[in-house]
């Protein structure tokens, strides 16, 4: 029997914002997502509690190369663990300098270490790109790569039997809060996102595993709600874009708007702050505004 362990990486000392998944079958265990390097200590001690050393892992599967998903991948590479990922993400992990610089532009240099920690180069021989529909088998565990752009162009949702690890394309949902779409720059594409959700539904998954955060037992309903909110957010932002407002002006209004949505779902203030950790409002403003800008310029 396979088992799936949800590891809470306790990002910024908060619970249930970033997960890593440990899957055990007959062969070597497999990890899906590493979280950022700032939670590497937490990941290591969680693996230790499960009696696993980083070098024991048979593979690391990454949904995409954003820091909160792949920031500690290089530590596993140092242990010789093979890393499976989207071909477009590969060069960024092999040479993370550009990725780091563009993140520093978004977060500010002073925040990088506190939030994400360092990122080192990875030996390309350990990075294995998978095309859409390609599979990787470790022991009796077979994972299928579902290329799923929308949140990021280099995004893979990983199917294992009748469950799918959805990275960020399956949205963010914490505790009993609503599902929301994480919309950071620079790749947000609403049309692609919807097609990716369709693609996931075509596999008729019984469960989803969200990196932010955990198990979803009603995939159809969950993904329908995600698309609904994605459309609402996109249209709300379109109004701001058409008015020509600045990002700095929009962000507090967007926070009010999403906080009202969370209130309607009965989300407490504490829960709302977890949502903000997992999916900062200012990032979604920036990502969605970029989407409308590129659309207006006919570039997407």
Q: Which residues bind Zn ion (CB under 5 A)?
A: 68, 168
At 104, list the tokens: 């520093």
Q: How far is the CB of 108 from Zn ion (least distance, A)?
A: 19
CB closer to Zn ion, 84 vs 241 = 84
Could you tell me whether strands 163-167 and 135-138 are parallel, antiparallel, or unpaired per DSSP bridges? unpaired
CB closer to Zn ion, 13 vs 260 = 13
Q: 98-101, long-range: CB within 8 Å, 24+ apart, which pairs?
A: 99/65, 99/67
CB crowding 176-207: b at 16 or more within 10 Å, else e: ebbbbbbbbbebbbbebbbebbebbeeeebeb
CB closer to Zn ion, 54 vs 171 = 171
Task: Give the helix ranges, DSSP H, for 50-189.
Answer: 67-70, 73-78, 90-94, 97-107, 109-115
For residue 34, with 0-12 CB atoms within 10 Å meaning exposed, 13-18 middle and 19 or more buried, which class applies?
buried
CB closer to Zn ion, 42 vs 68 = 68
CB closer to Zn ion, 31 vs 138 = 31
Q: How far is the CB of 178 from Zn ion (least distance, A)?
A: 17
Q: How far is the CB of 226 from Zn ion (least distance, A)?
A: 14
Cβ(3)–Cβ(139) below 8 Å: no
Q: How far is the CB of 224 from Zn ion (least distance, A)?
A: 21
Q: How far is the CB of 168 from Zn ion (least distance, A)?
A: 4
Q: How far is the CB of 95 from Zn ion (least distance, A)?
A: 21
Rounded Cα distance between 224 and 230, Å, is 10
Three-state DSSP at 158 gives: strand
CB closer to Zn ion, 166 vs 240 = 166
């Amino acid at each position: 029997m396979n088992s799936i362990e949800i590891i809470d990486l306790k990002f910024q000392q908060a619970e249930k914002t970033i997960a890593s998944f440990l899957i055990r079958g007959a062969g070597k265990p497999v990890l899906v997502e590493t979280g950022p390097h700032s939670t590497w200590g937490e990941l290591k001690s969680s693996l230790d509690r499960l009696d696993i050393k980083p070098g024991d892992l048979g593979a690391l599967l990454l949904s995409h190369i954003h820091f909160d998903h792949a920031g500690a991948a290089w530590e596993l590479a140092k242990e010789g663990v093979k890393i499976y990922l989207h071909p477009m993400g590969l060069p960024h992990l092999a040479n993370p300098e550009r990725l780091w610089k563009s993140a520093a532009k978004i977060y500010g240099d002073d925040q990088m270490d506190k939030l994400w920690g360092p990122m080192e180069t990875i030996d390309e021989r350990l990075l294995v790109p998978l095309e859409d529909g390609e599979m990787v088998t470790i022991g009796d565990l077979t994972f299928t790569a579902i290329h799923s752009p929308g949140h990021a162009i280099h995004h893979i949702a990983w199917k294992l039997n009748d469950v799918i690890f959805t990275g960020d394309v399956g949205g963010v949902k914490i505790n009993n809060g609503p599902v929301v779409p994480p919309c950071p720059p620079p790749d947000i594409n609403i049309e692609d996102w919807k097609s990716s959700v369709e693609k996931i539904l075509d596999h008729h998954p019984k469960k989803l595993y969200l990196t932010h955060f955990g198990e979803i037992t009603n995939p159809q309903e969950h993904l329908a709600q995600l698309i609904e909110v994605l459309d609402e957010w996109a249209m709300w932002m379109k109004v701001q874009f058409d008015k020509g407002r600045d990002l700095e002006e929009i962000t507090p209004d967007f926070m009010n708007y999403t906080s009202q949505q969370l209130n309607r779902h009965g989300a407490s203030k504490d829960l709302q702050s977890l949502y903000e950790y997992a999916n900062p409002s200012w990032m979604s403003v920036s990502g969605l505004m970029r989407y409308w800008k590129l659309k207006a310029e006919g570039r997407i």
